[in-house]
Amino acid sequence: MSDAVVREILTGTGDTWAVVGLSNNSARAAYGVARVLQRFGKRVVPVHPKAETVHGEQGYATLAEVPFPVDVVDVFVRSDLAGEVADQAVAVGAKAVWFQLGVIDEAAYERTRAAGVAMVMDRCPAIEIPRLAG
């Protein structure tokens, strides 16, 4: 996974990010990362079983329920659940999948890449974006 792929997803893939696992729990990492993504001009779409509105954006219970195209699916779920989310991201036509720090599923990575979808694993966009800007 190269820095070039990270750069392309952050700067060239599109600005609509579905954040799977995002709720109004401000103690969770997804909450803070979503705020950073918004600060850098990304539209953050919460995807969580609670379907809460977070940071002013309507939430949806599943990726399939999001009624508009999603560019990047940012995954904040346990590694054992992440592969299914990656498969759903491919199914809804996302251009990229991003597994957060500590989220690792090599088989899902291979499936996603084989489907022609860019992917980053075990990295955090809130760490990577400022590095690109600086």
DSSP 17-58: EEEET--S-TTSHHHHHHHHHHHTTPEEEEE-TT---BTTB-
pLDDT tens digits, 33-87: 999 999 999 999 999 999 999 999 999 999 999 999 999 999 999 999 999 999 9
Q: Which amino acid is at 88?
A: Q
Which pLDDT does position 2 carry in this prediction?
78
> Which position has the higher pLDDT, 1 or 28?
28
Both tokens assigned to 113: 């890449």
Give residues with Cβ within 8 angstroms of 76, minimum separation 6: 19, 20, 21, 22, 28, 29, 30, 33, 100, 103
Q: Which amino acid is at 90?
A: V
Which pLDDT does position 18 carry in this prediction?
98
pLDDT tens digits, 97-113: 999 999 999 999 999 99
Beta bridge mates, 47: 20, 60
